[in-house]
Amino acid sequence: MNYKRLLLLNFIFMLALAFALTLEDTSVVDAKGLTKPVFASPINKKGDNNGPPPANEKGEVDPENLNADTPVRDPETPGFFIIFLDGAIDEAVQVKLFSTGIPQNVPPLPHTLQIPSSLVPTSGNSPYFLFAVWRRAIEGGAVTKFGQPILINAPYQDLGLSGDQENRIRLWMYNPVSQSWVKLGGQVDIFNNIVTGMVTSMTPWQENGNTLFALGFDDNPALTQEVDEFGTTTLATPLRDDFKLRVPAGSVEVGSHFEMSPFPTIPDSESFELLGAPIHIGVYRINYYALSLAEKYHLTFLSQPVTIEFDPSQYLNQTDDSSTLTVVTLIDGKWVDVEELGYKVNRGENSITVETTTLGIFALAVK
pLDDT (tens place) for every residue of the chain, 367 residues total: 555 554 445 544 444 444 333 333 333 333 333 222 222 333 333 333 343 344 567 888 887 766 656 678 898 888 998 988 878 888 889 899 999 999 988 999 999 999 999 888 888 999 999 999 998 876 658 898 888 888 899 999 988 888 888 888 999 999 887 788 888 888 888 888 999 998 888 988 877 789 999 999 988 888 888 999 999 999 998 888 899 999 999 898 877 878 887 776 566 667 888 888 888 888 877 766 666 665 666 667 789 999 999 998 888 776 666 788 999 998 877 889 999 999 999 998 789 999 999 888 899 998 8
| CB within 8 Å of 42: residues ≥ 6 apart | 51, 52, 69, 71, 81, 83, 153, 293
Tell me if the pTM is above 0.75.
Answer: no
Cite the DSSP H helix spans in the chain. Answer: 3-23, 163-167, 293-296
- Indicate left, alpha or beta for 240 from its phi (over 0: left) and psi (-120 to 50: alpha): beta
| CB within 8 Å of 287: residues ≥ 6 apart | 255, 295, 296, 297
Domains and CATH numbers, the chain: 32-217 (2.60.220), 224-366 (2.60.220)
| CB within 8 Å of 28: residues ≥ 6 apart | 35, 163, 166, 167, 190
| CB within 8 Å of 33: residues ≥ 6 apart | none
